[in-house]
Amino acid sequence: MLKSLSLPPRPRTPVLSLAATLSPRELDVVKLVALLAMLVDHINTLFLSPSRPELYALGRMAFPLFTLMWAVNLNRPGRSLQARANRCWLWAVVTQPGFTLAFYGLVPWYALNILFVFAGVTQLLALTDRAGWRGTLAGLTIVVLLLWPLTPASYGLQGLVLALCAALYFHPARVRYRRWLTGGLCVSLLTLNGLSLLPLWPMATLLMAVLPTVMLPSCVLTAVSGHAPDGRRFMPRSFFWWVYAGHLLLLGLVRLVTGHAG
């Protein structure tokens, strides 16, 4: 099992450094900001025509923030990796009907929600922890199988690489690989959004997709860090799971009732 989080001496990137030092209350604030950004992004995508580029840019911070918070929590003491993987799989499956309903007609029927990113990477780490290199091969097989259905709406290869690099970065036994993991994080962040549009609209893509993906999470973590260093969390432990699944189901029902899903 991954051992408890051991804070490395002054990580190279501000985002990683701040993510590792946030208190439980500060982590909850970051999750709340990410949830609000995600909600704005989904409303922009599902109900505004044409969608607003500034709202799209704002939504780019959601997945990187969720990924960093998940990676930090994954390395804290508590449940085993397999128990954490089981929880991710359960909520990913529970969320999928609402996700499919919300994005009906906008993404292929087989597209999976982002919780499958966290479930697949957590399962890879759990299998590696339990069965060594054989477990790693089995876990990589699962991740490869998820790659195709995650690509249309849940960041695909870049999202999986971002999650895996973030999880390993905070693992105290992976200090020797931290430079490489930082590189993987940077590349995945820079290519997470707008890569296919970059040749067509380079400036617009940089301003509305690439830069917000990298800069906005850093700004949020900088603003939150240090304001409640000893604060207890204020959100219920399962708050994120319920809100993520619930808001997709609600948006899907609204689309169905209002005719936006037609």
Does the predicted model carry a pTM greater than 0.95? no
10 pLDDT above the threshold of 50? no
Asked if the structure places residue 6 within a domain, the reply is no
Domain extent at residue 72: 14-258
Asked if the structure places residue 40 within a domain, the reply is yes
Asked if the structure places residue 154 within a domain, the reply is yes
Average pLDDT, the chain: 88
Asked if the structure places residue 216 within a domain, the reply is yes
Asked if the structure places residue 101 within a domain, the reply is yes
Asked if the structure places residue 196 within a domain, the reply is yes
Evaluate whether 114 touches 159 at the Cβ level (below 8 Å). Answer: yes
Q: How much is the pLDDT for 8?
A: 44
How many domains does the chain contain in total? 1
- Nearest of 66, 76, 69, 68 to residue 1 by alpha carbon: 76
Asked if the structure places residue 73 within a domain, the reply is yes
Asked if the structure places residue 218 within a domain, the reply is yes
78 pLDDT above the threshold of 80? no
196 pLDDT above the threshold of 80? no
Give me the mean pLDDT over the 178-198 stretch.
Answer: 87
Give me the mean pLDDT over the 131-156 stretch.
Answer: 95
236 pLDDT above the threshold of 70? yes
Distances (CA, A) of 62 to 168, 205, 260: 20, 17, 24
